[in-house]
Amino acid sequence: MELFKEDKVYNFLGKGKIFFIASFVLFFISIGLIAIKGFSFGIDFTGGTVVQVKYTGDAPIDKIRESLKKSELFEHASVSEFGSSQEVVIKTPSSTVGLSHDIGDTTKEILKGTGDFEIRRVDMVGPKVGDELRVKGLSAFLLTLLAIMATVTFRYEWRFALAAIIAIVHDIVITFGFVSYFGVDFNIESVAALLMILGYSIHDTIIVYDRVREHIEESKEADFVHIINEAVSRTQSRTTLTSLTVFFVVLTLFLFGGDIMLGFSFPMLVGVVIGTYSSIFVAAQLVVWTGFSVAAYRQKMADKVKIQAEKERMRSQFESGVM
Amino acid sequence: MKLNFRLVIFAFLIAFGLFFSAPSLLQLESGKKVTLGLDLQGGLHMLLGVKTDEAIKARIKSIAASVKNFSEKKDIIIDSFSFSEDSVSITFLDKDEVKNVKNFISEIKGSVVAVDGAKISISLTKEEILRSQEQAISQAIETIRNRLDQFGLAEPVVARQGENQILVELAGIKTADEEQRARELISRAAKLELMAVDEDRAARVNSMSESDASSYGDVILEDANNPKIKHLVREIPILDGSMLTDAHVGFDQNNRPLISFTLNAEGAGIFGDFTGRSVGKRLAVVLDGKVYSAPVINERIGGGSGQISGHYTVVEAKDLAIALRSGSLLVPIYVMEKRSVGPSLGADSIRASLLALVSGFALVIVFMMFYYGLAGVIANVAVVVNLFIILGVISLLGATLTLPGMAGIVLHIGLAVDANIIINERIREGLRAGIPTSRAISEGYKKAMRAILDSNITQILACTILYVYGTGAIKGFAVTLSLGILASILTAIVSTYGIYQFFMSRIEKDKNYTLWFGMSKRKGA
């Protein structure tokens, strides 16, 4: 089976302006959303406690709220259904430091009398740990961007690296715009998702870049726009297929992973779609705007080959004893 | 036929993957299995903070105790002690004796002495402060580990994290009560002290304030059984738990549990001397700052054993004995992060992610076969072997599989398929261009290789940074993903090529590109 006409070169860049405007609008709407609405950060970052309770039968949410009001620890607590009507999640910004009697024990005592329940999960993160996670997550992200910048510059050119980074940031900002819009919890797994989108985005982008590089090296074509159109068209089939398979997997994770996976699976789901879009319509296009010159690149490559050949000539002369 | 080294490598990979993943997949008795993270099997995860400042205080106190011992031996009379956060000042009656004491102290490692008339101040050097903190943490880890080992759980994890944090992971905790018991056992300071009751002032204890007591070199301690009863005891203990060699549960004449302890030779000596000197006075048995009993000394007690009686259940007494045996926690610890997952929730998570894994995987497999024909089947074989290899390596390394780690695997399947897709697309391109089959395949691999390597190396670099800078969840994710990438480079580039080489003559002969590569019919080369 084949999906795309292999010998046809689609004019992706011809419609560049439309996609540019679309990306631009989405990007800034996302930034606006994140700035205004923000994220509903999980306790991993803010510190606090999450208690997941499962009742036999429907959870008596009102009764639970009533009982929690009596405790100072749960003064600002929120109670919400989780996954099914039997299960609730109680969130409070409080945390405790005592080992022999902690907030989980307190919850158990408070909820006594609300029905037959089982405490399935107690997550408590102290404020200091939350700070540490935030700092560590952010520094891991920035360092990873730097590493990508360095490898792409080394293997391609700095213009490619710059375009790739812009594309990555584009993907991530838009994805988390969605996360903010839908009010999905932002927790440590979301950071893993964020980093995965980063990896996926760069993966897709590099596959296209590889083609661009190949066409520059192998064809005589001087028109960079045409080269890019050709590269994107040639990788079209692969990009779509891979995205579909990844999408399948992430979709099943999103559908069957349950609420506990939502912080991970939702950003992934959006990220795969945005990442695919950007690797087709944004990443390669951006290289054109960085002022990449095919002639200059070819000249550079030719010089490299020349230097290499010169070196080899010297070596062979040296080895055969002719100086 | 030439020896096809790629197939040999593939056979090796299959054998490796199957052999090392079998124990986990089939739940065999022997062999290393994948350790499931606490989020998957249920259990308790805690990040504990250590109050290292207290270690400095304790170190100062112990120096003060040895100065006191020294002075008593030399008949130098101490007028008063005063403690601050990180130093102690001692004032002597006779100014001329100070030099003697100073010489003694300067032999104590890490101490700094300042003399001012009859008063000396002792503090610690910077190195000593660091060393004490360091020691407090490693001692706390050691102690917690010892206690948990005796608690009877399978493979508790007690590890240092960061500068002064301790990670404790207990798998197999089933109930909230069990969890609470474990937490109590960990946090129990179990600091045993034998202290002399200040008989001269004991009668006035109820009218005395903390600072009054402190000015006499005493402390006021609560009674363990009745908080209303106060005891006035000498601040510097005669003995502490560091000289304890054993503690176990015994029973008194009313068949109530009590704890008997035994002291080492040095402790027994000090204990004997003290009881010999103090007949008729009281000796307080203090545990974690509470007085458990304060019997009157009737005669010199040799042999170095004693008892702690109190109102506890047999289980409590047992846990306390464990705590005492494992040594005391010199510094208080507190919870910075706690995550406890009930076993039923863990099972739910496994079910959900397995469902996602299997269904996602099945979709991908069907899709690949449908789209690429036999090439798709070959790709599927590679991806399945990949999965076995990841599982095998994880169990071999003893790494823990967590929820994000599982997500990493799920996601990796998508990316592993990608390598095969890139290769197949390249081969198709070659065939369409009319290149002979064997060259189309070899060039397809050559061209695909560059893109695959470029992208995968970039990702592995990213994963490495994630591993180094990330925390728990992210680390697990980075590990499974990098393992997956490495495995897929091997299976996609080396192994599947070997399969094509093996079938090459047949592919060339029947030229059925629809069957082999899922291409629509057209004139081939």
Q: Does B167 touch chain A (CB under 8 A)?
A: no
The C-alpha of A161 sits at a distance from chain B's nearest C-alpha, in angstroms, of 12
Residue B393 near residue B36, CB atoms below 8 Å: no
Backbone angles phi, psi at B96, to 5 degrees: -70, -20
Would you call B78 helix, strand, or coil by DSSP? strand
Measure the CA–CA gap between B299 and B301, rounded to whole angstroms. Answer: 6
Geometric angle at alpha carbon A185, from B174 and B336, rounded to 5°:
50
Q: What is the pTM of this model?
A: 0.75
Cα–Cα dist B353/B445, whole Å: 34
Cβ contacts (< 8 Å) between B356 and chain A: which residues? 249, 252-253, 255-257
E strands present in B184-270: 192-196, 218-223, 230-234, 239-240, 244-251, 257-263
d(CA B222, CA B399): 48
Tokens, residue B34:
């994948």
- pLDDT digit of tens for each residue in chain B (525 aa)? 556 888 888 888 889 888 888 888 777 777 777 878 777 778 888 888 888 888 888 788 778 878 887 887 788 888 887 877 778 888 888 888 788 888 888 887 788 888 888 888 888 888 888 888 888 888 888 888 888 887 777 678 888 887 788 888 888 777 777 888 888 888 777 778 888 888 888 888 888 888 888 778 888 888 887 888 888 888 878 887 777 778 888 888 888 888 888 888 888 888 888 888 888 888 888 888 888 888 888 888 777 777 777 777 887 788 878 877 777 777 888 888 888 887 777 777 778 777 877 888 888 889 889 888 888 899 999 888 988 888 888 888 877 787 777 767 776 777 788 888 999 888 888 888 888 888 888 888 988 888 888 888 888 887 888 788 776 667 777 888 888 888 888 888 788 888 888 888 888 887 787 788 878 755 444
Chain B residue closest in CA terms to A214:
B447
Shortest Cα distance from B505 to chain A (angstroms)?
Answer: 24
Minimal CA separation from A235 to chain B, in Å: 8
Rounded CA-CA distance A153/A79 in Å is 50
Of B269, B290, B297, the C-alpha closest to B69 is B269
Across the interface, which of A128, A139, A188 has its CB nearest the CB of B473?
A188
- Taking CB atoms and an 8 Å cutoff, what residues of chain A touch B469? 136, 139-140, 143
Chain B within 8 Å of A124 (Cβ-Cβ)? yes
Contact between A188 and B474 using a beta-carbon 8 Å cutoff = yes
User: Rounded distance, CA B243 to CA A105, Å?
Assistant: 35
ipTM of this complex:
0.82
Interface test with A, best of B349, B471, B513, B523 (most A CBs within 10 A): B471
Give the best residue of B474, B480, B521 to mutate against chain A (max A CB count within 10 A): B474
Contacts of A131 (CB under 8 A, 6+ apart): none
Q: Which residue bears the tokens 């020349």?
A: A306
**Which residue's entry shows tokens 């000289």?**
B243
Task: Give me the helices (H) in B235-373, please.
Answer: 265-277, 314-325, 343-372
| DSSP code of residue A74 | G
B37 CB near a chain A CB, below 8 Å?
no
DSSP string, B99-155: HHHHHHHHTSTTEEEEEETTEEEEEE-HHHHHHHHHHHHHHHHHHHHHHHHHHT-SS
Q: Which residues from A are below 8 Å from B414, CB to CB?
A: 242, 245-246, 248-250
For residue A155, give the H/E element and its range. helix A127-155
The gap between the terminal CA atoms of chain A, to the nearest Å, is: 60
CB-CB contact of B186 with B147 (8 Å): yes
B403 touches chain A (CB under 8 A): yes
| Chain B neighbors of A148, CB-CB under 8 A | 458, 461-462
Burial of residue A7, with CB atoms counted within 10 A of its CB: 0-12 exposed, 13-18 middle, 19 or more buried: exposed
